[in-house]
Chains A and B, each alone.
Chain A
Amino acid sequence: MNYNWNWNIFWDIAPDGTGTYFESLIAGLKWTLATAGLGWVIALVLGLVIGTLRTAPNKWLVRAANAYVELFRNIPLIVQMFLWYFVFPEVLPESWGTALKQLPNAPFVTAVLSLGFFTSARVAVQVSTGINALPRGQKMAGTALGLTLPQTYRYVLLPMAFRIIIPSLINEVAAIIKNSSVALSIGLIELMASTRSMQEMSFKTFEAFSAATIIYLIVSVVAILMSNLLEKKLRVPGFITAGSANSGGH
C-alpha cells in the first residue's frame, strides 16, 4: 500500500483548460443536475399520463400503457441510451436523422430523452399504484356528483394519488440523479465523466473518486431533506403511503 495522497490536487489547474480540477468537477455537477432536472420533467409528465391510462376503463388503452411500461422497464438504461444515440437517428427519415446528429450538444439531448423515458415508465407504475390505492368509492362519488370521468381524475383521483405517492417519487428523483451518471458512456461530461477525466489527467484516482462520492452524497442528502419537507406539507392524513422503498430497483 504505497499510494501517495495529495488532497491539494483539487486546486491545481487541469491541463485541458477548464480551470482548476475543483471547477471542472463543479461544471460536471451542473450538467448532472441539468440532465436529471430536464429528464425529470419529461418523466413526470409522461409518467402521469401513462400511469393514468393504466387505470383507464378501456382495455386497449390499458394494454398500450402496459406495453409502454414493459418496453422501458425491461431494457437496461445504458442500452436505451445507445439506442437513442446511435440507432434512433438512423431509423428516422434521413434529413431528420442528420439534423439530430448535428445538434450542438447531442449527448445532452440524448441523455435527457433516454433518462426521461426510462424514468417515466417507473413513475407511471407509481402513479397507477397510487390511483389503485384509493378507495373505489372515491371514483364512484365523483361520478355520482355528476363529474365526467376526466373531471373525476382531474379533481378527485389524481390530486389524492399524487400526494400519496410523493415518497416513492422522491426515490425516483434520487434515482434519476444517480442514473444520469450512465450518460458518461455517450460522452456527456457530467459529474462522473469529469471525475474520470480528472483521474486520467492527474493520476489521483482516489482523491477524484472521494470528491465525487462526497458530492453525490451531498446532492442526495439535500434532495432527501427537501423532499421530506414537501412530503410533510402534502401528506394526506389517514393514508399510508403506497409503494415505498421496497418495490425493488435503484
Chain B
Amino acid sequence: MGNFDFDVIQRSWVYLFQTGMVFTLKLTFLSMTGGIIIGTLLAMMRLSSNKLINLVASGYVNLMRSIPLVLVLFWFYFLVPYIGAWIIGANEPVAVGAFSSCLITFVMFEAAYYCEIMRSGIQSIPRGQIWAGYAMGMNYWQTMGHIVLPQAFRNMIPILLTQTIVLFQDVSLVSILSIPDFFGSAAKVAQRDGRLVEMYSFAAVVYFIMCFGLSALVKKLQAKVAIIR
C-alpha cells in the first residue's frame, strides 16, 4: 500500500470528469426525466379500469422488474439498431450511438421502477378529490393534471430522488459494454496504466462522496416538502 500512486489520478482526473462524469450525469438526468414521464403514464395505465390497458402496463412493469439490468442493457444494445432499421424501413440494422442506446435502456428500465413509486403516490391521494374533480365537470386528464399528479408528485419527491441516486449508481454498469461512463473511463485508465488499485479506489471514493452528499440532501428535502395536513 506504500506505493499508492497519486500521480495517475492527477494525470487522468480531467479526462475522468470531463468525459466520464459528464456522460454519467447527463445519462442520469435524462433517464430520470424520461423515466418519470413514462413511469407516470405507466402508473396511470396500471390504475386504469380498462382491463387490457391495465394488463399491458402491469406485464411490462413486472417483466422489467424481474430481469437484471445487465440483461436489459444487452437486450437494448443489440435490439435498438434493429428497431431503428424497422422504423426507417432500412434493410440493415442502423448504427445507434452508445449514449442514445444507453439512454433508451435506462428510460425503459427505470420507468418500471418510477411507475411503482408514482402508483403509490397516486393512490395516496384520497379518492374524494378525484370525485370532486369529476363533479366540477373536469375530465380525466384535467383531474389528473391539475389535482392528482401535482400532489402525488410532491409526496413522492424524496423517493423519486432516492431512486435517482440508485439510477446514478446503476449507470456504472454500462462499463460492461466498454462505454466510458465515469467508472468505465476509470477502468480504461486503470488497465492502460496498470494502476488498478489507485483508479478503482479513486472511483469508489468519488461515488461514495457524491451519493452520500445527495442522500443527505434528499433527507433535508424530505422534511421540507412534506405536506402538512
A residues adjacent to B (C-beta < 8 A): 1-3, 70-71, 73-80, 82-83, 86-87, 90-91, 174, 178-182, 184-185, 192, 195-196, 199, 205-206, 209, 212-213, 216-217, 220-221, 245-250
Whether A76 contacts B66 in the complex (CB less than 8 A), given A1-B86, A246-B120, A246-B159, comes out as no
**Given A76-B169, A79-B200, A178-B67: 13 more A-B contacts, CB < 8 Å:** A71-B208, A74-B207, A75-B208, A75-B211, A76-B207, A80-B204, A196-B74, A206-B79, A212-B67, A217-B67, A220-B67, A247-B162, A249-B163
CB nearest to B89 among chain A residues: A1
Most buried by B among A192, A205, A247, A250: A250
Complex Cα distance A195/B74, Å?
A: 10
Contact B71 A247 (CB under 8 A): no
Name B's A-contacting residues (CB within 8 A).
1, 63, 66-71, 74-75, 78-79, 82, 85-86, 91, 113, 116-117, 120, 159, 162-163, 165-166, 169-170, 172-173, 175-176, 183, 187, 196-197, 200-201, 203-204, 207-208, 211-212, 215
Interface residue SS majority, chain A: helix
Q: Contact at B200–A90, with CB atoms within 8 Å?
A: no
Interchain CB contact under 8 A, A83 and B200: yes
Q: Known contacts A196-B74, A248-B162; is A78 also within 8 Å of B66 by CB? A: no
CB distance from A155 to the nearest CB of B (A): 33
- Once A80-B204, A87-B197, A221-B66 are accepted as A-B contacts, the answer to whether A206 and B71 lie under 8 Å apart by CB is no
Q: B159 contacts which of A75, A90, A247 (Cβ < 8 Å)?
A: A247
Shortest Cβ distance from A216 into B: residue: B67
Complex Cα spacing A247 to B197, Å = 33
Give the distance to chain A from B73, nearest Cβ to Cβ, in Å.
10
Q: Which residues of chain B are near A76, meaning CB under 8 Å? A: 169-170, 172-173, 183, 207
Please tell me which one of the listed residues A179, A216, A246 contacts residue B117 in the complex, with CB atoms under 8 A apart: A246
Report B-chain residues with C-beta under 8 Å of the C-beta of A75. Answer: 169, 204, 207-208, 211
Instruction: Report the 8 A-B pairs with minimum CB-CB distance, sorted nearest first.
Output: A248-B162, A74-B211, A220-B66, A76-B169, A181-B68, A178-B68, A76-B172, A181-B70
* Bound Cα distance A196, B74 (Å): 9
A146 to B8 alpha-carbon distance, docked (Å): 60
